[in-house]
Structure 1
């Protein structure tokens, strides 16, 4: 269990770097959609090689595809929405909010998925201890990300310059979308986790 928790933490570190990298790629290719497509193509090639070397196959059998519900294949679409949205968010609301707000959405949606046992997840009822843990996690994210960023003049200046000149309603719209894509990310992870278990 500790190994998988460690892998999850490392994945979180890597994910935090994905948005600025893809945002820079978007600047180079002059399109967030081309940047997202390149990211997915590179990821697909990497995963295909990994899958082929570990299991000797890349695709599931036709019978498997025919017997599974349609929602089980939505992970790729949700992943592309999440990735492209991060590329779009980074220049709109800055680095700090692009990291924090989707994580907030992931925590909320992940809790809901666990509570109701959606997408093949084991149903885990909400308890006071879990609720307090979620609050502590949100506060921890704030302390770990926001506080250092407030002290970092370069990041703070970048974020203030990013949102300056934008109408407050537009900024709020991007902020809400950032939380929504956190919901999307948690849903994608649950779907892909269930698909991985079945495969």
Structure 2
């Protein structure tokens, strides 16, 4: 792991936590929009369009480094297709939320993320920093899975 100060770590924890809260609120808003559109795919298209407009405004403002688009063949082909997974996540969530509820859907999302993160960290797949698998990481993920089971029981 990269060495960062305690204060920076706390700020990053808060920012990411707020991002997670924002995703939950986004899905509640999108679920309401879906009830009007009647289509999880159309709702996802609207959401992604609004996301693109929001990002374009931030990019155009110069608030962040504008970067540049690399040549297609300068990266592994898979690096270009993260949006496919975002689209899948949004549509699957919009289909599931009316049937399972926001809490169950997001607990499943978090567990899926944790399992995938453990695999990516421990293998270094896709160029992420490799972090060894440890008993505490496996136990933490197992406890999250137990939490999902408890949350979905009615």
TM class, shorter-length: 0.7 to 0.9
Per-residue CA shift, 1:65-107, capped at 9, x if unaligned? Answer: 3311111011111111111111111123233321211211111
Aligned length: 145
Q: Which has the higher contact order (CA 8 A, sep 6+)?
A: 1
The match for 1:101 among 108, 118, 134 is: 108
The reply to whether residue 122 of structure 1 matches residue 100 of structure 2 is no
**1:121 and 1:74 mapped to 2: Cα distance?**
16
Scaled by the length of structure 1, the TM-score of the pair is 0.64
| Rounded Cα–Cα distance in structure 1 between residues aligned with 2:37 and 2:147 | 36
Q: Which has the higher helix share?
A: 1
- Alpha-carbon offset, residue 55 of structure 1: 4.4
Q: Please, which runs of 5 or more residues in structure 1 have no aligned partner? A: 151-155, 157-199
The 8 Å contact of residues 114 and 141 in structure 2, kept in 1 or not, is answered as yes
Q: Hey, which bits of structure 1, 4+ residues long, moved more than 6 A?
A: none
Change (3 A) 1:55 1:32: same
* Alignment pair present for 1:111 and 2:118: yes
Instruction: Tell me the distance in 2 between the aligned counterparts of 1:104 and 1:31.
Output: 26
Kindly indicate whether the alpha-carbon contact (under 8 Å) linking 1:22 and 1:87 is maintained by their aligned counterparts in 2.
Answer: yes
- Could you tell me which runs of 5 or more consecutive residues in structure 2 were left unpaired when the two chains were aligned: 1-8
